[in-house]
Amino acid sequence: MSNAENTTAPADVIVEMRDICKTYPGVQALKNASLTVRKGEVKALMGENGAGKSTLIKMLTGAETLTSGEICIHGERVPRMTPAISEGLGISCVYQHMMLAEHLSVAENVWLGKFPSCAGFVNKAELVRKTVKVLDDIGYGGVIDPTERVANLTASQQGMVAIVKAICRDAKIVIFDEPTAVLADREAEELFRVINLLREQHLAIIYISHRMEEIFKVCDTVTVLKDGQYAGDAVTKDIDEDGIISMMVGRELSASHYDDTRRIGEELFRAENVTNNRVKDCSLSVKSGEIVGIYGLVGAGRTELSRAIFGSDPVKNGTFTVKGKNARISSPKSAIDLGMSLIPEDRRRQGLALQLSVRHNINLAVYRRNDVLGFIRTSREKETSRKFVESLAIKTPTDDQKVKNLSGGNQQKVVVGKWLASEAEIFIMDEPTNGIDVGAKEEIYALINKLAHQGSAIICVSSYMPEVMDICDRIIVMNSGEIVANVDRADFDEEDLLSLAIKTRED
């Protein structure tokens, strides 16, 4: 029995989603949303966090069932989309949060579910041969070993595997969801080359990203969603960044986020000669009201240093000072007790308990001080949650909502709320705006400045140079696990900072 019905559509239209509505209990995620993608077109799908982009893609891949509306593929209506039907129609997706089996090899991940076999046994030689061919076809040959376990690859190499897995299965429609989130600049350029190759092969491509420069570099057209509704289409060569932002948020955004009215006070935190397996002799300090950036390329050691000074990773050598007193930081608990906090790069796996509610997540760091004989004081729990949901403007129908159902920007606010509840004064923020839209970024930058105004010390870790140059008082540059420069704001220069970050280190 066919899963599709004939409908009328231009011959070159591959994907047509019309009047898509999706309702969850208490929430209408999509209302009459639309998306059209043609053969050989790279279509950007944009909107603020919570605008409905991910929900719309879930409708297309069959991960969620639409409430009403129509999905047409190759001119035929699909009455009911499921993951199996979606894959059969040639729809493939590279997700921001990569779904890979880390204990399996590259080749096994690429062909999972489609292993070549002989007499009922997996033909491993053929499996490797097919993987080598597809890697060679897209220019990744020699970069990734098809027999290597995925767990042993860097995050950027894992991103390449996810891309290969998506495009090698006779895909006709490829969705890229924040594909450069874990890629270095050089690897991102390789991705753009692959996308251009797919365009030449007449595939339909949907590209989701919050990085404007990528949209104008790789996309032909853009569809914008706002508050779950279709806000308009544009040809990228006929619109500028301000035009897209206006469609997305309906308001002008600040040109600069640096706040020179902050008062920088006494030193709150100092680390000296921090060394472990990933970083070497790293020293830094941050004062009350100060925003210090840590910049470097993928693999430079930014995240490793932030984890080391928070006690998440063991330290072989190093000393710490908090508020002028020597401190022993041997675990995250000891760091929290000293008034420190870490907003991790991977907020979903390391910063949140996704299956728990907003209320539970906000209270995670304070339960042990707000209990009576081991019992949670629910009135205090609700009061704390309500306070930070309101003060941080977290968009959620109720604080009983599971955090996994919130947008990326609101998830980030929940993490911040958790540390504010703990009364932290030293904030380490690793990629604080990664994967969130321009509107939510404005809110995060405003929150960072507000915390600094209140006397907190902020360490902002980022691989995105415009971000650290925009909001920071100083930038610490890392290269190969070492701090190679400490640059004051008056001396910020993009070329100089990049040169420090990429220059080969001498032993």
The vertex-152 CA angle with 139 and 500, nearest 5°, equals: 70
Predicted confidence band of residue 495 (pLDDT cuts 50, 70, 90): confident
Q: What is the pLDDT of residues 46-84, one digit of tens each?
A: 887 667 888 899 999 999 999 999 999 999 999 999 999
Residue 216: pLDDT above 90? Answer: yes
Mark out the alpha helices in 340-427 (DSSP H runs): 358-363, 378-391, 408-421
Neighbour count for residue 503 (Cβ, 10 Å): 12
Q: How many domains does the chain have?
A: 4
Same domain membership, residue 215 and residue 67: yes
Residue 449 within a domain? no
Same domain membership, residue 242 and residue 200: yes
Which of residues 252, 279, 309 is at a domain's end?
252
Q: What is the pLDDT of residues 100-120, one digit of tens each?
A: 888 888 888 888 877 877 767
List CB contacts of 130: < 8 A, sequence separation 6 or more. 107, 111, 116
Same domain membership, residue 504 and residue 431: yes
Predicted confidence band of residue 2 (pLDDT cuts 50, 70, 90): very low
What is the pairing mode between strands 13-24 and 27-38? antiparallel
Same domain membership, residue 430 and residue 506: yes
Nearest to 6 by CA among 68, 80, 72: 72
Could you tell me the strand order of the sheet in which 5-6 lies? 5-6, 76-77, 68-73, 13-24, 27-38
Query: What's the token pair of residue 214?
Result: 């990528």
Same domain membership, residue 333 and residue 271: yes
List the domain range (segments joined by +) for residue 400.
Answer: 350-424
What is the pairing mode between strands 457-462 and 426-430? parallel
- What is the CATH classification number for the domain harbouring 478? 3.40.50.300
Convert 206-263 into a string of H (helix), E (strand) and C (coil). Answer: EEECCCHHHHHHHCCEEEEEECCEEEEEEEHHHCCHHHHHHHHHCCCCCCCCCCCCCC
Nearest to 179 by CA among 152, 148, 217: 217
Helices then strands, each counted (H, E), the chain: 16, 25
pLDDT of residue 97: 60
pTM (global) more than 0.75? no
Residue 289 within a domain? yes
Predicted confidence band of residue 182 (pLDDT cuts 50, 70, 90): low
| Residue for token pair 């790789």 | 218
Mean pLDDT for the chain? Answer: 86
pLDDT of residue 507: 41
Residue 363 within a domain? yes
Predicted confidence band of residue 304 (pLDDT cuts 50, 70, 90): very high
Average pLDDT value for residue range 208-235: 91
Predicted confidence band of residue 254 (pLDDT cuts 50, 70, 90): low
Q: In percent, how much of the chain has pLDDT > 90?
A: 46
Same domain membership, residue 381 and residue 303: no
Task: Say which residue, 224 or 227, is predicted with more confidence.
Answer: 224
Predicted confidence band of residue 487 (pLDDT cuts 50, 70, 90): very high
Residue 170: pLDDT above 70? Answer: yes
Same domain membership, residue 506 and residue 359: no
Contacts 24+ apart (CB under 8 A), 312-315: 312/342, 313/276, 313/278, 314/276, 315/274, 315/275, 315/276
Same domain membership, residue 274 and residue 164: no
Same domain membership, residue 86 and residue 121: no
Residue 448 within a domain? no
Q: What is the pLDDT of residues 408-431, one digit of tens each?
A: 778 888 988 888 888 889 999 998
Residue 436: pLDDT above 60? Answer: yes
Distance from C-alpha of 88 to C-alpha of 170, rounded to nearest angstrom: 9
SS3 breakdown of the chain: % helix, strand, coil, rounded to 5? 35, 25, 40
What amino acid occupies position 499? S
Same domain membership, residue 309 and residue 213: no
